[in-house]
């Protein structure tokens, strides 16, 4: 779990393990630090930006701890549907957020707080000379995409269909983090992720998509009913959508509404 | 083996709790299984594809374990040197390493930029990451130790006098191995193969890290469970149930080896 700040205590783990998802166990960690705890589930592509947002939020709300859990959005949705307690969900697309809303797990209505664009991620220096989507069909290149149900995978397939390029992904990855990791390791030549994924990481380069083939990713955020602190969740959402929160997102390369 | 002395009654409560711990997840699986649509799920292309790939790859991994592991087990059983001890640690390591670590290590060795992966691909055109061959390699890596250690144990338990007798009657070492040792070793071989195969069938972490996750090529049953869980939990539950049944069948087949008749 990258960006995971979830802590576990052995006592709660023992009894809970058989019944609950391991992640939900973070719920009871660190009793010594009395105070509020806001559990935020965020799409993998938000990990670096939300890490900073969480720190900034904690600075302003002394005694409050933000526990950030980042993973591919469908995985977060699954965990929420199976009862994981969380106060906030930041999804990388609207269909996945709708799956949570349909289960009546959301308080109020989701709001769009950021937008993102796609990019081709390549090894540093773009050694294979990739210039655009059409290159991804080259037989000498190994390309990975996120799975078709992961937002980034769905957006990538939309972009490829729009450009009429047929790409066979060698693996359906669970998150943009996994795609970037495979490119960085050199196991694949290219992948399609968000621009912000490439901008925030070293060891990789990006080829932006031309405007006519680009797809705009829309990120909704919502307060969840399953968590222990709705007020804290609402305050965190308010912070993300505030001018200061939006400035952080912009700094990480997101577009803000 | 005789039953142990009767346990004190006070221990029944924690013992029952332990049983509940093992049983409850299985009950949960059955409870959420979409029984009316079971047939449809089992016949779906994704399930059939994953099952076929799993059976092929795990059988290939078990075969690899037999071909490479039997000689290794024979060598290990024949000596007590420091080298033997070191090799035994090496062989046991995959049993205790987290499989995802195995996947990373395999990538660094057999990946495109790996120690031997690059030359292998350049000279022989053999690529492991994101290919079915990679699945077999990952499964063999985690499963072979079970075979080697089982067979080594079987070899050490053999009475050396039979082989010695055959040798005094003029049989060469190869003939002794073939006509005396191997037939006596059959139960251990069978057990080793089954347990290695079962471990290969359940392999997940090393496979998804090293070989990726693509339907029909590298998406074995456990990876199909992981993938389906996010989109179609019912399909994931059916696949899980299938894996539980297969594993239980292996245990049933092995019960004589692991729990000798009383």
Contacts 24+ apart (CB under 8 A), B172-176: none
Q: How far away is chain A from the Cα of B215, in angstroms, using its nearest Cα?
A: 8
pLDDT of res. A34: 56
For residue B244, what is the enclosing H or E element?
helix B233-258
Does the beta-carbon distance from A169 to B24 stay under 8 Å? no
Does the beta-carbon distance from B233 to A77 stay under 8 Å? no
Q: How far away is chain B from the Cα of A135, in angstroms, using its nearest Cα?
A: 20
Residue A74 is nearest to which of B112, B218, B231, comparing CB atoms? B231
Which pair of tokens denotes residue B93?
Answer: 């390591």
Structural contact between residues B117 and B131, judged by C-beta atoms closer than 8 angstroms: no
The CA distance from A120 to A207, in Å, is 5
* Coil/strand/helix, residue A40: strand
The CA distance from B176 to B179, in Å, is 5
CA B11 to chain centre: 33
Q: Distances from the Cα of A10 to the Cαs of A58, A253, B69, B196, in angstroms?
A: 25, 39, 39, 33
Percentage of chain A surpassing pLDDT 70?
Answer: 87
Start-to-end Cα distance in chain B: 5
Does the beta-carbon distance from A78 to B233 stay under 8 Å? yes
* Coil/strand/helix, residue A252: coil
Burial A58-96 (b: 16+ CB within 10 A, else e): eeebeebbbbbbbbbbbbbbbbbeeebbbbbbbbbbbeb
Partners of residue B79 on adjacent β-strands: none
Contacts of B20 in chain A (CB under 8 A): 18
Q: Where are the alpha helices (DSSP H) in A122-242?
A: 151-162, 176-185, 195-199, 230-241
Q: How far away is chain B from the Cα of A74, in angstroms, using its nearest Cα?
A: 6
CA atoms within 13 A on the CB side of B65: 35
Q: Is the pLDDT of residue A28 over 50?
A: no
Q: How far away is chain A from the Cα of B141, in angstroms, using its nearest Cα?
A: 20
pLDDT of res. A22: 40
pLDDT of res. B149: 95
Residue B112 is nearest to which of A75, A169, A186, comparing CB atoms? A186
Structural contact between residues B244 and B25, judged by C-beta atoms closer than 8 angstroms: no
Residue-wise pLDDT for A221-239, tens only, equals 999 998 888 999 999 999 9
pLDDT of res. B262: 47
Q: What's the pLDDT band for A256 if we cut at 50, 70, 90?
A: very high
Which pair of tokens denotes residue A38?
Answer: 């806001």
> DSSP string of B133-144?
HHHHHHHHHHHH
**For the residues A234-251, what does the mean pLDDT come to?**
96
Chain B residues within 8 Å of chain A (Cβ atoms): 20-21, 24-25, 107, 111-113, 129-130, 212-215, 218-219, 227, 229-231, 233
Residue A18 is nearest to which of B24, B112, B215, comparing CB atoms? B24
Between residues A201 and B185, which one has the greater pLDDT? B185
Does the beta-carbon distance from B213 to A19 stay under 8 Å? no
Does the beta-carbon distance from B213 to A172 stay under 8 Å? yes
**For the residues A126-138, what does the mean pLDDT come to?**
92
Contacts of A142 in chain B (CB under 8 A): 112, 130
Residue A33 burial (10 A CB sphere; 0-12, 13-18, 19+): exposed
Q: Is the pLDDT of residue A16 over 70?
A: no
**For the residues A95-111, what does the mean pLDDT come to?**
93
Does the beta-carbon distance from B107 to A185 stay under 8 Å? yes
**For the residues A53-64, what does the mean pLDDT come to?**
94
Contacts of A145 (CB under 8 A, 6+ apart): A152, A153, A156, A157, A167, A169, A172, A173, A179, A191, A192
Which pair of tokens denotes residue A170?
Answer: 């060698």
For residue A38, what is the enclosing H or E element?
strand A36-43
Q: Is the pLDDT of residue A1 over 70?
A: no
pLDDT of res. B206: 94
Q: What is the complex's ipTM, to 2 decimals?
A: 0.74
Q: How far away is chain A from the Cα of B95, in angstroms, using its nearest Cα?
A: 23
* Coil/strand/helix, residue A136: helix
Beta strands A106-116; A88-90: pairing state: unpaired
Between residues B121 and A27, which one has the greater pLDDT? B121
Nearest in space to B135 (alpha carbons), one of B238, B188, B195, B214: B214
Nearest in space to B135 (alpha carbons), one of B248, B230, B59: B59
> Which of A172, A181, A183 should we substitute to test contact with B (largest number of B Cβ atoms within 10 Å)?
A172
pLDDT of res. A15: 38
Nearest-Cα residue of chain B relative to residue A147: B227
The model carries a pTM of 0.79
Which pair of tokens denotes residue B169?
Answer: 């009657």
Q: What's the pLDDT band for A59 if we cut at 50, 70, 90?
A: very high
Which pair of tokens denotes residue A173?
Answer: 């990855």
Beta strands A172-173; A143-146: pairing state: parallel
**For the residues A188-213, what does the mean pLDDT come to?**
89
Show pLDDT as tens, one digit a residue, over chain B (262 residues). Answer: 556 677 788 889 999 999 999 999 999 999 989 999 888 888 888 889 999 999 999 999 999 999 999 999 999 998 899 999 999 999 999 999 999 899 999 999 998 888 998 888 888 888 888 899 999 999 999 999 999 999 999 999 998 898 889 989 988 888 998 899 999 999 999 999 999 999 999 999 999 999 999 988 999 999 999 988 877 888 889 999 999 988 888 888 877 766 665 4
> Which of A169, A187, A188 should we substitute to test contact with B (largest number of B Cβ atoms within 10 Å)?
A187
Nearest in space to A112 (alpha carbons), one of A237, A243, A252: A237
Nearest-Cα residue of chain A relative to residue B19: A18
């Amino acid at each position: 779990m990258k960006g995971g700040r979830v802590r576990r205590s052995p006592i709660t783990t023992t009894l809970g393990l058989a019944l609950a998802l391991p992640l939900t166990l973070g719920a009871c960690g660190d009793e010594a630090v009395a105070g509020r705890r806001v559990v935020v589930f965020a799409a993998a592509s938000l990990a670096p930006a939300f890490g900073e947002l969480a720190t900034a939020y904690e600075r302003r709300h002394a005694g409050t701890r933000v526990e950030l859990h980042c993973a591919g959005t469908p995985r977060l949705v699954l965990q929420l549907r199976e009862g994981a307690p969380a106060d906030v969900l930041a999804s990388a697309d609207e269909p996945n957020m709708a799956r949570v809303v349909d289960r009546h797990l959301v308080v109020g209505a989701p709001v769009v707080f950021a937008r993102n664009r796609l990019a081709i991620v390549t090894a540093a220096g773009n050694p294979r000379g990739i210039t655009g989507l059409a290159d991804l069909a080259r037989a000498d290149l190994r390309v990975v995409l996120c799975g078709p149900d992961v937002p980034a995978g769905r957006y990538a397939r939309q972009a490829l269909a729009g450009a009429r390029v047929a790409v066979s992904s060698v693996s359906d990855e669970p998150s943009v983090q996994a795609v970037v990791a495979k490119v960085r390791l050199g196991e694949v030549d290219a992948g399609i992720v968000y621009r912000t994924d490439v901008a925030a990481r070293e060891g990789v380069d990006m080829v932006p998509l031309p405007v006519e083939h680009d797809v705009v990713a829309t990120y909704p955020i919502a307060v969840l009913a399953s968590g222990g602190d709705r007020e804290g969740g609402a305050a965190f959402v308010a912070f993300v959508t505030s001018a200061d929160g939006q400035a952080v997102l912009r700094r990480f390369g997101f577009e803000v509404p | 083996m005789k039953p142990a002395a009767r346990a004190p009654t006070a221990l029944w409560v924690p013992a029952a709790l332990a049983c509940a711990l093992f049983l409850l997840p299985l009950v949960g699986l059955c409870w959420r299984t979409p029984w009316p649509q079971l047939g449809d799920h089992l016949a779906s292309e994704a399930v059939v594809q994953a099952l076929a790939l799993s059976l092929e790859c795990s059988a290939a991994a078990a075969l690899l374990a037999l071909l490479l592991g039997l000689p290794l087990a024979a060598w290990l059983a024949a000596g007590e040197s420091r080298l033997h001890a070191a090799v035994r640690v090496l062989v046991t390591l995959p049993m205790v390493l987290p499989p995802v670590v195995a996947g990373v290590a395999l990538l660094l060795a057999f990946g495109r930029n790996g120690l031997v992966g690059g030359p292998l691909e350049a000279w022989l055109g053999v690529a492991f990451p994101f290919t079915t061959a990679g699945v077999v390699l990952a499964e063999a890596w985690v499963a072979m130790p079970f075979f080697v250690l089982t067979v080594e144990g079987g070899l050490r338990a053999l009475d050396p006098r039979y082989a010695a007798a055959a040798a005094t009657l003029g049989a060469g070492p190869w003939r002794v191995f073939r006509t005396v040792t191997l037939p006596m070793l059959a139960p251990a071989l069978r057990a080793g193969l089954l347990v290695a195969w079962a471990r290969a069938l359940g392999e997940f972490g090393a496979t998804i890290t090293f070989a990726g996750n693509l339907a029909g090529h590298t998406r074995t049953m456990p990876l199909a469970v992981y993938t389906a869980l996010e989109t179609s939990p019912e399909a994931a539950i059916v696949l899980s149930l299938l894996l539980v049944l297969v594993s239980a069948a292996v245990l049933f087949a092995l019960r004589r080896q692991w729990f000798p008749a009383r």
